[in-house]
Amino acid sequence: MGVFYSTDKLPEFRNAVLTIGTFDGVHLGHQKILKTVTDEAQKINGESIVLTFHPHPRKLLFPQQQLEIITPLEEKINFLSSFGIDHVIVVPFTKEFSQLSAKDYIRDFLVGKFHPHTVVIGYDHHFGSDRSGNITLLKAEQKTYNYQLIEIPEQLIDEAGISSTKIRKALLEGDVKESAAMMGRFYSLKGTVVKGKQLGRTIGYPTANIQLKNTEQLLPAIGVYAVKVNYENALFGGMLSIGYNPTVTEEKTIKIEVNIFEFNREIYGEQLEILFLTRMRGEEKFASLDDLKKQLQADEHYARQLIQNESE
């Protein structure tokens, strides 16, 4: 798959079939659009292309609103590739670009840069300055610029009630099972193992402290989760805590700590990927380390059951 981080010096694409969007989460609704793109490209011996944006347009247009990303750019590109897309164009989303009029967007950007044979677009797609461009304008400009237009209907996109906004809401509520159902895969975080206070090993539950690879990525709700841990392409079961560890510290910094089952290696500085299966409980402050240890034993038993059930 070809990946381009600029719209300058692009190759001549053969019968380009393209779609446009942020595709944050690359969820099941997005995947329907991607399948339409690849199917149409195959019909005409063309090349399938996704135009996406970096940074997320909302970060530039609404900087006062906090926006946490579901899928970091590198992972988004990998997911798009896995669905058979031939090329991904990462368009730098700048203030100048955001101010293009809708007609200039079509003429200078969409047609001028990509010469599409077919444009596949959702019924509610907007573009250009003040989001003034829409499917109606794309239809009106078809004859002028000689492209075909395929509209993804509202029913196809909305029938499952899936959106990036709904996925964010589920994650912020700790409902990682719901987010997985909408995405078609487990939500995941990647990070580096860093040294912590090593208190877990004193009660029989050593943990790897995770420093996130991408600090803009959304962190699920505080609590304790059953997880799978990908280390060097091998999967291990585990349980993970997101929170402040109130039983052992009064620090007000959120920590991410994972206890990996059947694992006994020093992995400081190594990379882990955490796959979230289920939120088992919220964070609690215990009266003693013994009480904490009893709860961790119960958590481990529950997590192992959940991981076993998921694997069957």
pLDDT at 198 > cutoff 70: no
Phi, psi values for residue 130, rounded to 5°: 60, 20
pLDDT at 55 > cutoff 80: yes
What the block records as the tokens of 212 is 């996130």
One domain for residues 133 and 253: no
One domain for residues 95 and 192: no
Q: Domain with 266 in it: what CATH number? A: 2.40.30.30
One domain for residues 15 and 89: yes
Of the candidates 90, 161, 126, 121, the residue with the CA atom closest to the CA atom of residue 18: 121
Per the domain annotation, does 18 fall within a domain? yes
| CB neighbour list of residue 264: distance below 8 Å, 6 or more residues apart | none
In a 13 Å sphere around the CA of 290, the CA atoms on its Cβ side amount to 0
One domain for residues 137 and 227: no
SS3 226: strand
One domain for residues 15 and 146: yes
One domain for residues 193 and 90: no
Q: What is the CA radius of gyration of the chain?
A: 23
One domain for residues 196 and 65: no
Per the domain annotation, does 167 fall within a domain? no
One domain for residues 121 and 17: yes
pLDDT tier, 59 (very low <50, low <70, confident <90, very high otherwise): confident
One domain for residues 87 and 223: no
User: What is the pLDDT, as a whole number, of residue 156?
Assistant: 63
Looking at the structure of the chain, the number of domains it has is 2
Per the domain annotation, does 259 fall within a domain? yes
pLDDT tens, 222-262? 999 999 999 999 999 999 999 988 777 777 889 999 999 99
Per the domain annotation, does 128 fall within a domain? yes
User: What percentage of the chain exceeds 90 in pLDDT?
Assistant: 73
Per the domain annotation, does 168 fall within a domain? no
Q: Which of 105, 137, 162 is the last residue of a domain?
A: 162
User: What is the pLDDT, as a whole number, of residue 61?
Assistant: 83
Q: Domain with 69 in it: what CATH number? A: 3.40.50.620
What range defines the domain where residue 245 resides?
173-311
Residue 255 to residue 248: CA distance in whole angstroms: 12
Per the domain annotation, does 179 fall within a domain? yes
Strands 17-20 and 148-152: unpaired
Per the domain annotation, does 198 fall within a domain? yes
pLDDT tens, 276-299? 999 999 999 888 889 999 999 999
One domain for residues 197 and 158: no
Contact 300, 245 (CB under 8 A): no
Q: Which of 100, 130, 162 is the last residue of a domain?
A: 162
One domain for residues 158 and 204: no
pLDDT tier, 202 (very low <50, low <70, confident <90, very high otherwise): low
Q: Which of 139, 162, 185 is the last residue of a domain?
A: 162
Per the domain annotation, does 50 fall within a domain? yes
One domain for residues 256 and 143: no
